[in-house]
Amino acid sequence: MNGWYCATYFLLEPFAFLSKDLLLPFPTANLVPDVMMLFLYLGTEVIGLFFGTKGSLCQWKMPHGINVVLTFLSTMVASYYLLLQTSVIRLEAIMNSILLFFCSSELLLEVLTLATSSSMDRT
């Protein structure tokens, strides 16, 4: 579910940046780091989804561990876009709240899966 929402998020977020740049007194110097963070988030999310899928299919702990770290980074970026960017419009607040919910639930499920697979290896 998070993969589908992230695809939608990456299609809508550039339009939010464009509307902020055109309609609000948004400094262009602050737009560049926000767009760079968006591409950083895109990279971590794609790599994290790959490792999560690989870890689930092969039942390996290492891809799950990498996915936990990348999902934590994705959660931090979603928190940045919700709370710390220069100006947040209502559409972005709603989108980032949903994104933060999905990232947090994904992180919880990954930790539970990692703990379950670790306890199964001991028996």
pLDDT bucket at 63, cuts 50 / 70 / 90: confident
Give the residue among 99, 90, 98 at the shortest CA–CA distance from 23: 90
Q: From the CB of residue 55, how many other CB atoms can be counted at a distance below 10 Å?
A: 22
pLDDT over threshold 60, residue 123 = no
Average pLDDT over residues 81-90: 83
| Structural domain range at position 15 | 2-118
Q: What is the mean pLDDT of residues 66-95?
A: 87
CA 67 distance to own-chain centroid: 11
Give, for 32, the enclosing helix (H) or strand (E). helix 28-58
User: Is 15 domain-assigned?
Assistant: yes
Quick check: is 123 in a domain? no
The two structure tokens encoding residue 68: 């936990």
Question: Is the pLDDT reported for residue 122 higher than 80?
Answer: no
89: in domain: yes
Closest CA to 73 of 45, 39, 108: 45
The number of folded domains in the chain is: 1
Average pLDDT over residues 55-62: 78
Q: Is residue 68 part of a domain?
A: yes
Two structure tokens written together for 11: 């299609």
In a domain, residue 83? The reply is yes
